[in-house]
Amino acid sequence: MTQILIDGCVLSANYALIALGITLIFSIINLLNFAHGELFMVGAFMVYYVYGVFHLPFVAGLVVAALITAVIGALFEKFFFAPVMRSSTREENSMLLAVGTALLLDSVALFAFGHEQRGVPDVIPGVMQIAGGFLPYQRLLVLLVSLLLVGVLLWFVQYTRPGRAMRALAQDRDAARLMGVNVERTSMLGFAIGAALAGLAGGLLVTVQGISAGAGPAISIKAFIMIMIGGAGVVGGALLGAVVLGFAESVGYSLLPGSETYLLIFVALILFLIIRPQGIMGHPWG
Amino acid sequence: MSTSIRIGRRTVLAGVGGAAVAATLGRPAIAATKTFTVGVLGVLSGPDAAWGLVNKYCATATANMYNAAGGFPIGDDKYHIEVVPADTELDPKIAVAGAEKLTQQLGLRYVIGPNTDTGALSVAPVMNRSNTIFIPYAFSRQLYTPPAENAILGMIASYEAGPIIYKYLMQKRGVKSISFLASNEPDALDQQKQGAAAAGKLNLKILSADATYQPSATDFFAVLSPLVRQKPDLIVFSGVAPATAPLLIKAARQLGYKGQLSTETAQNIKILQQGAGKYAEGFISVGGASTPAIESDYMTRFTKEYETVAGEWDDEAGTKVYALEMILRTIAKAGPKALTDTNAFKAEMDSFQIANPFMKDHPPLRYVGTGYFQQKRQIGVPLVVNEVKNGSFQTLFVGFVS
C-alpha cells in the first residue's frame, strides 16, 4: 500500500507540470497544443546536453530548458498561431496547425538529436525506504521541484500583473482588450510560459525516464487525458486530472497484471465524458 | 568444408586489404564495373527508429568497405554495392508499400528487414510474388517454415535464446523462479508467451507470465512493484527495446530487487549506462560479435566504419552485421546467376559454409534452422550472451543454433 501511495504521488506531481502547461495555453488562446509533448522532449534534451554531456549544474540545464522552450513557444505563437487565428474563423485550422508544429518538432528532433534513447545520471543517487515502500531521492527531488514550480505558477497567475492579464484573457478576450490588456503580448507570454512548463517537466523527468526523439506524442496523449478529466482550461482541473491519472496508474498496475490498467482508464474516461464532457472542474459553456 | 573456409578467409583478407589501400589512397583500389543493389526495409523514423536504422547503417558500412576495396567479386566482375532504404514507420501498410517499391519499381531481389513480426508477415506476400529473398528480424515461425521459402531469419530468435539463457542461469546462478514482463504489443507478447513456455519446460517456477506495460510507458515503478514483491530469482524483459531496458532495470533495482535481470534482445551499453548507470551491472542480454574477447580484426574495422556511417557504435549492430555479408557471400558462391535468380541463391543455402569473418576464432558460419523451421532459413549467427560488468559488456558464453 505504501508503494502505491508513493508511486501515485510521484506520478501525479510529474503529470501536474505537463497538464498545467497545456491547460494554460488552452485557457489563454483556446488552442489544444498537440506539440506539448514535443516541447517536453526538447526540454529533456536541453538538460541532457547541459547536465549530462557538458556536466554543468542540473539547475543550469533546467534554466536552459525553460528558456529554449519558452522561446520556441513564443515564436510559434507569434509567427504561426496568431496569424492563423486572426485570419481563420474555423477552430480546426489552428488545431491542424498545432499538429503540424508537432510533426515539425518531431522531425527536427530526430535530425538534431538522433534516434537513440538518452539518459543522465541521478542528481541525488540513492533510495530511501518509507514504511516498506521505496522512494529514490531523485524522484523525491522531482516531486519537490514539481510542487514548487506548481506553487510558483499559481502565485504568478494569481498575484502578478501579467498573471491577472492572462486570467482576464482566459475569461473574455474582448473585455480584456477593452480594459487595456495587450492581448497579443499576453497571448505570447502565456504560450511561452506553457511551453516552458512542458520544457521544465521534460528537464526534470529526463533524470528518471530518459528521453528519445520520438517521446513527444505519448506525452501529449497523457496531457490530453488529464485535461479531459479535470476540465480544459482550468488550472485546478489540470492538477486534479494529474492526481486522478497518477493514482489510477499506480493502483491499476498494482492490482492488474498490466495492459488492463490503461484499457480501464480509457473506458472510464469515455463513460465519464459521456456524463460530464466538460471534465470535473470545467464549465459547460467553455 | 576446408575449401569453403579457405575461400571465406581469402575474401575477407582481400576485402580488408583493399579497404586499407583505398583508405590510404582516398579512392577505390580497383573500380567496380557493375552495381548490385540491396534494399533495407525497416523502421527508420519514429520512436522505434533505432531498430531499422541499425540495419541500414550495418548494410551501408559493409557496402562502404567493399566499395572502398573496389567492389565485391561475383564471378569475373567486381560489383559496386548500393543500399536503398525504405521506411516502414512501424506500420504494416507502409511496409507493404515499401516492399512493393523495392521489389516491383526498383526490381530488387534481396531485401534486409523488416524488423517486426507484423511488418514481416505483411510484406511476405509481396516478397513471395516477386521471389525476393528477405531477411526479417522477426520471430514468427510461419515466415520461415514451408511452404514459405523466401524469408531468412537474420538473428537468434527469442525462443531459441531463452531456454539456453535460463538453463545457464539455473545451473550457474541457482535460478529457480522466474517472472516475465513485456510491452503490450504483438511481438513482445509473443516472446513473453514463448519464454514462459520454455521456462515451464525447464521446470522453472513461473511467478508471473503475463505482466505487461503500455508501449509508450516511460515510468515503470508502478508496473514493476507487484513483480518485485513476488521476489522471483529472475525477471525477463521479453522483447524489450534498447530505449526501455535501462528504465526497467533502474526501476527494478530502486524498488529493492536483488535477483537476476535479463532479456533475449540485443541492447546498447551506452544507453544502458546513461539510463541505468550502476544499476545495469549484472544485466544479461543477447549481443553480437562486438566484445573485445571475441571480435576479429575485420569486426574491429567494421565497427570503425559503422561509427563513420552512424556517428557512434551501437552494440545492437553486432547482431545485424551478418545480413548483407551473407547475401553477398552466398551470391558469390552461387554465381552471377543468383544476382537476379533467387532460386540459385536458395539452392546454394543448404551447403553454404564460410569462416565467420566477424569472430576471432572464425567458427563456421552457415544457414541453420532445420530444427525449428524444417529447412535452413536462418543465418547461423552465434548466440553471444553478454553481461554488464564494470560498465561494459562482457561475453558470458557463446552458443550456436544447430
Q: Apex CA A105: angle with CA A103 and CA A110, to 5°?
A: 95
**Helix axis angle, A2-29 relative to A183-209, nearest 10°?**
160
Please report the residues numbered 293 through 332 in chain B whose beta carbons come closer than 8 angstroms to any beta carbon of chain A: 311-312, 314
Predicted local distance difference test score (pLDDT) of residue B398: 84
Q: Do B162 and B260 share a domain, yes or no?
A: yes
**At A269, which amino acid appears?**
L
Size of interface A-B (CB pairs under 8 A): 109
Across chain A, which distance is largest between two alpha carbons, in Å? Answer: 59
Q: Does A258 touch chain B (CB under 8 A)?
A: yes
- Cα separation, B301 vs B305, in Å, equals 6
- Cα separation, B17 vs B140, in Å, equals 39
Q: Do B395 and B252 share a domain, yes or no?
A: yes
The x, y and z cell numbers of residue A135, run together, are: 522512494
Looking at the domain assignment, is residue B273 inside a domain? Answer: yes
**Strand runs labelled E in B214-356:** 234-238, 260-266, 284-287, 353-355
Domain of B246, CATH number, reads: 3.40.50.2300
Predicted local distance difference test score (pLDDT) of residue A44: 94
Predicted local distance difference test score (pLDDT) of residue B32: 60
CB neighbour list of residue B21: distance below 8 Å, 6 or more residues apart: B29, B69
Predicted local distance difference test score (pLDDT) of residue B13: 45
Residues of B in contact with A217 (CB under 8 A): 216
Q: Does A124 touch chain B (CB under 8 A)?
A: no
Series of mean pLDDT values for 10-residue runs along chain A (286 residues): 83 84 80 88 95 93 95 91 81 83 87 82 85 85 87 89 88 85 89 91 88 84 87 83 87 74 84 87 64
CA torsion angle B105 B109 B110 B112 (round to 10) = 40
Q: Do B217 and B138 share a domain, yes or no?
A: no
The x, y and z cell numbers of residue A10, run together, are: 510521484
Per-domain boundaries in chain A: 16-215
Q: Do B174 and B225 share a domain, yes or no?
A: yes
Give the residue numbers spanning the domain of B282: 158-290+386-399
Total structural domains within chain B: 2
- Cα separation, B285 vs B166, in Å, equals 12
Integer CA distances (angstroms), B374 to A164, B138, B144, B281, in order? 74, 17, 9, 39
Q: How far is B216 from chain A (nearest CA, A)?
A: 6
> Integer distance in angstroms from the first to the last C-alpha of chain A?
38
In 3D space, the residue among B343, B282, B348, B326 whose CA is nearest the CA of residue B130 turns out to be B343
CA torsion angle A136 A48 B320 B3 (round to 10) = -100
DSSP assignment, residue B44? -
Q: Do B219 and B139 share a domain, yes or no?
A: no
- Cα separation, B327 vs B55, in Å, equals 14
Q: Does A37 touch chain B (CB under 8 A)?
A: no
In 3D space, the residue among B101, B99, B60 whose CA is nearest the CA of residue B81 turns out to be B60
The x, y and z cell numbers of residue B400, run together, are: 550456436
Q: Are B63 and B82 in contact (CB under 8 A)?
A: yes
Option in A208, A209, A212 nearest B47 (CB): A212
DSSP assignment, residue B109? S
Query: From the CB of residue A121, how many other CB atoms can be counted at a distance below 10 Å?
Result: 16
Q: Do B247 and B393 share a domain, yes or no?
A: yes
Looking at the domain assignment, is residue B369 inside a domain? Answer: no
Q: Are A134 and B255 in contact (CB under 8 A)?
A: yes
Q: How far is B236 from chain A (nearest CA, A)?
A: 15
Q: Do B208 and B193 share a domain, yes or no?
A: yes
In 3D space, the residue among B106, B97, B79, B82 whose CA is nearest the CA of residue B15 turns out to be B79
Q: Do B129 and B37 share a domain, yes or no?
A: yes
**At A106, which amino acid appears?**
D
**At A7, which amino acid appears?**
D
Q: Do B14 and B141 share a domain, yes or no?
A: yes
Query: From the CB of residue B297, how many other CB atoms can be counted at a distance below 10 Å?
Result: 12
C-beta atoms of A116 and B270 within 8 A: yes
C-beta atoms of B219 and A119 within 8 A: no
Predicted local distance difference test score (pLDDT) of residue B217: 78
Please report the residues numbered 152 through 181 in chain B whose beta carbons come closer than 8 angstroms to any beta carbon of chain A: 181
Q: Do B54 and B95 share a domain, yes or no?
A: yes
Can you give the three-state secondary structure of A223-240, one letter per residue? HHHHHHHHCCCCHHHHHH
**Strand runs labelled E in A6-154:** 127-130, 133-136
Q: Does A89 touch chain B (CB under 8 A)?
A: no
Q: What is the number of helices (H) and of strands (E) in chain B? A: 14, 15
Predicted local distance difference test score (pLDDT) of residue B102: 96
Q: Does A120 touch chain B (CB under 8 A)?
A: yes
In tens digits, chain B (402 residues) has pLDDT values of 333 334 444 444 444 444 444 444 444 445 567 999 999 999 887 667 778 899 999 999 999 999 999 999 999 999 999 999 999 988 899 999 999 999 999 999 999 999 888 899 999 999 999 999 999 998 888 999 999 999 999 988 888 888 889 999 999 999 999 999 998 887 788 889 989 999 999 999 999 998 888 877 778 888 888 889 889 999 999 988 888 899 999 999 988 899 999 998 888 888 888 888 899 999 999 877 667 778 899 999 999 999 999 988 887 888 899 999 999 999 999 999 999 999 999 999 999 999 999 988 888 999 999 988 999 999 998 888 989 999 988 888 888 776
Q: Do B243 and B270 share a domain, yes or no?
A: yes
Per residue in B349-381, pLDDT tens? 999 999 999 988 888 999 999 988 999 999 998
Q: Do B258 and B276 share a domain, yes or no?
A: yes
Q: Are B353 and B1 in contact (CB under 8 A)?
A: yes
Q: Apex CA B268: angle with CA B265 and CA B272, to 5°?
A: 105
- Cα separation, A26 vs A3, in Å, equals 34
Predicted local distance difference test score (pLDDT) of residue A199: 93
Looking at the domain assignment, is residue B379 inside a domain? Answer: no
Looking at the domain assignment, is residue B18 inside a domain? Answer: yes
